[in-house]
Amino acid sequence: MGAMECSPCHNSVIVDTEEVILALGIVLGYMGLLYFGAIIVPGIGLSGQLLAQVPGNFLDWAHAPGYGILALLLARGLQRRAWPLAYALPVAAAAAFVFGLWTEVFQGSVQGRESNVNDLVTDAIGIGLAAMLMLSQTVRNRIVLRPCLDSFLSLWRTGSLVSLVRRTK
């Protein structure tokens, strides 16, 4: 092969590496955003002034979707790396929970902020809801959609679908 030619195998490795780097960048960027939100001190600085304007109950419950999305991102990333859902989901949920735990620990060291067990419970609720969402989607696809699709395709292949439609008119 010449200097300008690329083998198909080499190109797929480059594309795969670029996808991994992009996915890792998205997950790490999102984790940085969650961490930044945890160290903002209400009332100090521009971001602290903005945070002080948000109602407290909203901030408390913002943990649930925040850490649920993190668990989804981690699980999807592991699935893209050929992990089965049965392994990807508990690993992603545990990683998101441990990140939430350490964020709370670090938040306690920031002057003007405090660690709160309720925040960790809210993180766990969000992670659990995200896990249930992923599992329900998988179960729905396996139980409801797959047999329907298989039945439709078998009728289509045999030509029975056309005769079935003609009989119903």
In this structure, is residue 156 part of a structural domain? yes
Q: How confident is the model over 60-115, as pLDDT tens digits?
A: 788 889 999 999 999 998 988 888 888 999 999 999 999 999 998 988 888 878 88
Domain ranges, residue 148: 8-168
| Domain annotation covers residue 100 | yes
Alpha-carbon distances of 165 from 33, 42, 145, 148, 159, rounded to whole Å: 54, 65, 21, 16, 11
Question: Which pLDDT band holds residue 155 (cuts at 50, 70, 90)?
Answer: low
**Tell me, what's the pLDDT at 1?**
44
In-domain check, residue 29: yes
What burial class does residue 18 get, using C-beta atoms within 10 Å of its C-beta: 0-12 exposed, 13-18 middle, 19+ buried?
exposed
In a domain, 38, yes or no: yes
Q: Spell out the residues 6+ positions from residue 102 whose beta carbon is closer than 8 angstroms to its own.
A: none
Task: Give the number of other CB atoms < 10 A from CB of residue 100.
Answer: 25
C-alpha span between 169 and 157 (Å, rounded): 21
pLDDT digits (tens, 9 = 90+) for 5-63: 444 444 444 557 888 788 888 888 989 888 888 878 777 878 777 777 877 777 778 88
Q: Which residue has the tokens 């790490």?
A: 28
Name the pTM for this structure: 0.70
For the chain, the domain total comes to 1
Residue 1 belongs to some domain of the structure: no
Residue 2 lies in a domain: no
